[in-house]
Homo-oligomer: A and B are copies of this chain.
């Protein structure tokens, strides 16, 4: 019967989309033809519609293109060397990288203010470091040495 403030929390899952999409993009780089949503979905053991939803975000930022109809599918729009972890992280639209949140119930209570300020300072610093590191890594670096790894096998 309580007015739930806990219920206002953002629901989020441990999100492996970054890892998965990087994986897919690098494999795509080794293909000559576009990869269909269906093909990518089977790589990721998920659903083609989910793939389209996720890839749409990358397309909107210009990292991949989509083509309809026969012979269509998804292709890289730019070399892997032009894409950083940060680019894909941002394109996936994560609201926050942290599971830790702040209380916002008693915004006039000086204790809550002090507590939130202390936590927030730390989160901001840690996130800045994380994003900086993500910006330093381009996808071509991750692909080095694996240019010949086969795409169409079950393992992928």
How many copies of this kind of chain does the complex include? 2
A22 with B115: CB separation less than 8 A: yes
Chain A residues 91-119 with CB under 8 Å of chain B are 94, 96-106, 108-112, 114-116, 118-119
Tally A residues with Cβ within 8 Å of B.
Answer: 69
Interface centre among A2, A85, A89, A143 (most CB of B within 10 A): A2
Residues of A within 8 A of B (CB): 2-6, 9-16, 18-20, 22-23, 26-27, 41, 44-47, 50, 85, 89, 94, 96-106, 108-112, 114-116, 118-119, 121-123, 125-127, 129-130, 133-134, 137, 141-143, 145-146, 149, 155-156
A-B contact pairs, 23 of them (CB 8 A): A5-B46, A14-B100, A16-B100, A19-B112, A19-B116, A23-B111, A23-B112, A45-B105, A85-B122, A89-B100, A94-B99, A97-B99, A106-B155, A109-B149, A110-B146, A111-B156, A115-B142, A118-B137, A118-B141, A125-B129, A126-B126, A126-B129, A129-B129
